[in-house]
Structure 1
Amino acid sequence: MTDPFVVIGGDAAGLSAASKFAREVPSRDVIVFEKGEWVSYAHCGTPYYVKGTVERLTDLLSLSPEEAADRGIDLRRNHEVVGVDTGAETVTVTHDGKTVDQPYGDLLVATGAHATTEPIPGTELDGAFTMHGLDSAAAVRAALSRPDEDAVDKSIEYVDTALVEQYTDWEPPERVAIVGGGYVGVEMAEAFRAHDVETHLFQRSSHLLPPFGKAVGERVADHLREEGVTLHLNTAVDALVGDDGRVASVAHDGSTTDVGLALVGIGIRPNTALITDTPVELGNSGAIAVNEYGATTVDGVYAAGDCAEANHAVTGSPDWVPLGLTANRAGRAIGQTVAGEPSLVGDIAGTAVVKAFDLECGRVGLLDHERASAAGFDPVSKTVTTGSRSGYYPGGDDTDVTLVADRKSGRLLGGAIVGEDRAAIRIDTLATAIEADMTVDELERLDLAYAPPFSPVWDPVLVAAKVLTGQL
């Protein structure tokens, strides 16, 4: 066929779109080009593979190449798309040293994002990692294991055997450094400590997990210290320093800390280089601009996942919040749209949760007052601490809830939660309230479930809403 639905990228957004399209229009070809070996894997599970909670690397696969074929998807791994011609409606693909032009009828760009290491020198050294991809996870786990443990199954078809074997012969490091106190940094601190490795975490700002707000960051910092993690807050890493091509220390604030391994988790950037020379436009975030159906500024070309923007539920403006559900949901909607039934990709609210040892952290919406003010709101916030269950029932824990609202309208703008007892799942209540444009007063009157093993009469979310309503 000359009008196939062509997808660039074989992970969450790409294969969700391809699967939905193949199901709806089995008579039309759908081709997915993936430049690597791995497809449809759970990136968010990699710290737990390194820790050992997830035993096998293949447990992180959501859809195997064989299952993709069974769905009618023409999945072509190790095929890198190196050019897009939106005028001719073709993509240029390289494979095994050969280059071909593939026509498309509709095109989805689902190229994801890449870990950034700038401006830190030394990240090319052996023993310096970013936790972005299953091969990286396999290599880190190999480096943390004794040579005789054979911790990584190198017989797995897709694994980068050469990379893993490079670190299999290493003696486990006694001390490691984590650069960056965001999602990856906090989760990897738990993974490293599970291997009984001395762990130093460097964060250039004053608190961890900046998108979650100060209250969450401070409580997480205290808990990480209790778990044996050495924190270096307000500390910028100047460089990773090597010895014979291998990481040996971290340079910071005029001093150095000797380490045997370094994990850099300072952020990601959307992969948009492929459309640089096309009329496809980027948004202010640097990701690909799309409309409510995931369509770009060029007819027949869509974008989804970590390379694309989406509409923010609070500001009503385009934003870039690369998360798993956003990618899967948008990909599925685009597959439905290309199949002939226009489907909205949905707004985003930045809803996210993270585990920090025993602590559960959640966030949603706008927490930063400066950003809320820039969006035209007059933000006011309040943090309360209350029990997660009835006081007489065992197993409860203090739960900190932060709510942000607009002073004039009372509209809920954002929220964050932290605690050890089912705190993370409570963020979904706030996410629903934000999607519904609820006021804090309306949030306070929600009829949430109560029973002593699960919640006090006044759920922590309701307590926070009640206090903030009074302040408003």
Structure 2
Amino acid sequence: MKIVIIGGVAAGTSVAAKARRNDEQAEIVIFDKDTDISYAVCGIPYVFTGEVENFDELSPRDTTFFKEKYNVDIFTRHEVLDVSYQEKKIIVKNLKNDEIFEEHFDKLVFATGTYFNTPEVFQNVQAKNVFSVKDITSGKNIMNYLEQEEANSVVIIGGGFVGLEMAEQLKKRGIATSIVVPHNQVMSTFDEDLALRIEDEITRQGIWLIKNSEIVEIQGDKRVKTLVLEGDQELSADFFIVATGVKPLVTLAEKIGVKLGETGAIQVNSSMETNLENVYATGDVAEKFSRINGKPLWLPLATHANKEGRIAGDAMTGGSSRNQGILGTSILRFFDLTIGQTGLSEKMAKKQGYDVEILYNQKNDRPNYISDKKILIKAVADRKTHQLLGVQIIGNAGVDKRLDVFATALSFGAKAEDLFQLDLAYSPVYSTTKDPVNYTGMALTNALSRGKMITPAKLLSWLEAGEELQLIDARPLQEYAENHIEGAKNIPLKELRTHLQGLDKEKRVVVYCNTGVTANAAQNILLNEGFKEVYNLNGGNVNYQMMRNHMDG
């Protein structure tokens, strides 16, 4: 059996390694038009401040390594020009000497990855000071420019993972940094209310953020000098990084009749096999599906590529590995924040037809007598089944630990009630007695069963519409005096029971505190006393004021 793999980064090399472990007799060949293979693309930004010593650290394995350890032949600087499924052959060009030759296969794997989703205005730009970040060569090109040219300012086009990672690293080098996004938020996979907090950190770090602005013109020839934005706003810099995302590179596969899914990536089954027998697709070129509900997804992440490569290599050599779907778990460090997500966001869950319950849970990562570092958890659950659907977390410490717990819980179909029952490790130097994960489960269960929650956005809409309600601030008078929601009546929790006569049990009530804990206690008192409709403001006054400030801004 001859296995031919097109693409030699995470997915392709994982296919080869697993196939070889299962079958010592198979002939395995990889072709890649790049110079480097099996490199850690996600580590590229961290070379610019020395967190990663040099680019060689990101490519620890070369063609010799794979030949000696796995008996796999890898040909770099070899581009696959064409594929004939009927004849079971590919046409390959050796980019080193322009030689063109044929290679036959029994099984073919597309691990072709992605191509840049370059904005139209940049597509024909060949300027020496415009870069992208996709492979080791692109990283080296930026580093060479920083070392050889005057590079005191940069404009980054795009506010996703790569854009923010590069912004952090270049700002730390002392380079004046600006970010331009054509949409209304950075990090488009997050809900807007979480993205606002990321944008606050961008501003706090002295980075100029421009949103909702398309680039309409580029001024400069061999060197770009200025971007002209909508409204005739001009933005100049010494160099520019285009980080507007990628798309699956499906050209060769589509040409031979490989079926694409609704996301535009290659449709595969649980064995990573396409609609064509003995033709597989893995990694960023392959469509994914949600582990939560089976719906198609496409997220280009290295974690998925490595797993899918292993699954394909196992399945094609008789193994039992099958893809169980993804959650899209991802994490980013941005200066003092760690930002993570897993599962469905609120906007994604609603788009897919779920009736969702939302919980904002803001806690310290450890007891406040040890740490004052906060974690904000936004959890999304299905009101009908109580199944946890997704979580987004932003915080200064302990985010990665909680994110992985939530991802594990989602993988096994956990309900809100299950989160509270998790037996998690506790010591004051690591966590609180009720870990933020446990508390999320407890509060989310309460919201799903008895204690209704209201989001800041919904409360704002009620207030603006003049809805009749009783708005109660359950905090101490001093906190109320410093900052409160307009129209709220201050009744501190400890005084609430003595003020019940002044409230109407038939009229809608909204109670709030700083983050929601005290208000939950107030809510329970009112419900126990026979009040008909009582809401706890989700995330409390802190969450409300943040949303209100951004709306006013």
Deviation at 1:260, TM superposition (A): 0.9
Query: Cα 1:364–1:391, aligned 2, differ >3 Å: closer, same or farther?
Result: same
**Residues 110 and 304 of structure 1 are in contact (CA less than 8 Å); yes or no, is this contact kept in structure 2?**
yes
Equivalent pair of 1:117/1:123 in contact (CA under 8 Å): no
Residue aligning to 2:169: 191
Q: Which residue of 2 aligns with 1:139?
A: 141
Inter-partner Cα distance in structure 2 for 1:437 and 1:203: 36
- Equivalent residue for 1:392? 369
TM-score w.r.t. structure 2 length?
0.78
Indicate the SS of the match to 2:226. strand
Counterparts of 1:111 and 1:221, CA distance in 2: 34
Supply the distance in 2 between the matched residues of 1:128 and 1:465 (Cα, whole angstroms): 47
Partner of 2:154: 176
Q: CA deviation at 1:123?
A: 4.2
What pairs with 1:34-433 in structure 2 (closer than 5 Å)? Answer: 34-70=32-68, 71-95=70-94, 96-121=97-122, 123-145=125-147, 168=148, 170-171=149-150, 173-242=151-220, 244-253=221-230, 254-369=232-347, 371-394=348-371, 396-433=372-409
The structure with more helix, counted as a fraction of residues = 2
User: What are the superposed Cα offsets for residues 51-100 of structure 1, whole Å, 9 maximum, x if unpaired?
Assistant: 32112111001422111111200111111111111111111111122222
Number of the residue aligned with 1:434: 410
Q: Which residue of 2 aligns with 1:11?
A: 9
CA distance in 2, matches of 1:236, 1:46: 27
Greater relative CO (CA pairs within 8 A, separation 6+):
1
Which whole-Å CA distance do the structure 2 matches of 1:10 and 1:136 have between them? 17
**Secondary structure of the equivalent of 2:389?**
strand
Question: 2:25 and 2:359 mapped to 1: Cα distance?
Answer: 56
* Partner residue in 1 for 2:18: 20
8 Å Cα contact 2:375/2:398 also seen in 1:
no
Contact between 1:315 and 1:375, CA under 8 Å: does it hold in 2?
Answer: no
Q: Which runs of 5+ in 1 are unaligned?
A: 146-167
Check conservation: 1:302, 1:334, Cα contact below 8 A. yes
State how far apart, in whole Å, the 1-side matches of 2:278 and 2:17 are: 18
Q: Secondary structure of the residue that 1:386 maps to in structure 2?
A: strand
Q: Hey, what's the Cα distance between the residues in 1 that align with 2:76 and 2:190?
A: 37
Equivalents in 2 of 1:237, 1:50: separation in Å? Answer: 27
Q: Residues 63 and 73 of structure 2 are in contact (CA less than 8 Å); yes or no, is this contact kept in structure 1?
A: no
SS in 2 for 1:211: coil
The equivalent of 2:534 in structure 1 is: none
After superposing the two structures, state which structure 1 stretch, 459-468 or 271-280, moved more. 459-468
Number of aligned residues: 443
Give, as a single letter, the amino acid of the residue that structure 2 aligns with 1:83.
D
Instruction: Give the AA of the match of 2:3.
Output: F
Instruction: Quote the offset at 1:44 in angstroms.
Output: 0.4
Secondary structure at the counterpart of residue 51 of structure 1:
coil
State how far apart, in whole Å, the 1-side matches of 2:64 and 2:292 are. 41
CA distance in structure 2 between the partners assigned to 1:397 and 1:382 by the alignment: 20
Q: Aligned in 2, Cα 1:209/1:133: closer, same or farther, shift over 3 Å?
A: same
Letter in 2 for 1:98: E
Within 2, Cα distance between the matches of 1:198 and 1:12? 34
DSSP-derived class of the 2:408 partner:
helix
Structure 2, gaps ≥5 residues long? 449-553
Letter in 1 for 2:36: W
Change in CA separation of 1:207 and 1:464 when aligned onto 2, cut-off 3 Å: farther
What one-letter code is carried by the residue in structure 1 that aligns with 2:163?
Answer: G
Q: Would the aligned equivalents of 1:144 and 1:195 in 2 still touch at CA under 8 Å?
A: no
Task: Report the Cα offset of residue 194 of structure 1.
Answer: 1.6
* Matched-pair contact (CA < 8 Å) for 1:123–1:129: no
1:111-148 superposed Cα distances (whole Å, 9 cap, x missing partner): 00122112333643221111111111111122222xxx
Kindly, what percent of the aligned residue pairs are identical? 31
Tell me the amino acid that sits aligned with residue 342 of structure 1.
Answer: S
Larger radius of gyration: 2
- Answer yes or no: is the 8 Å Cα contact 1:187–1:355 preserved in 2: yes
Question: 1:154 matched to which residue of 2?
Answer: none
Q: Does 2:432 correspond to 1:456?
A: yes
Tell me how far apart the structure 2 counterparts of residues 281 and 239 of structure 1 sit (CA, whole Å).
Answer: 37
Q: Counterpart in 1 of 2:444?
A: 468
Report if the CA contact (8 A) 1:403-1:465 is conserved. no
Query: Could you say if the C-alpha distance between residues 36 and 238 of structure 1 is closer, same or farther in structure 2, counting changes exceeding 3 Å?
Result: same
Q: Contact 2:10–2:38 (CA<8 Å) still a contact in 1?
A: yes
**Secondary structure at the counterpart of residue 120 of structure 1:** helix
* Amino acid corresponding to residue 52 of structure 1 in structure 2: G
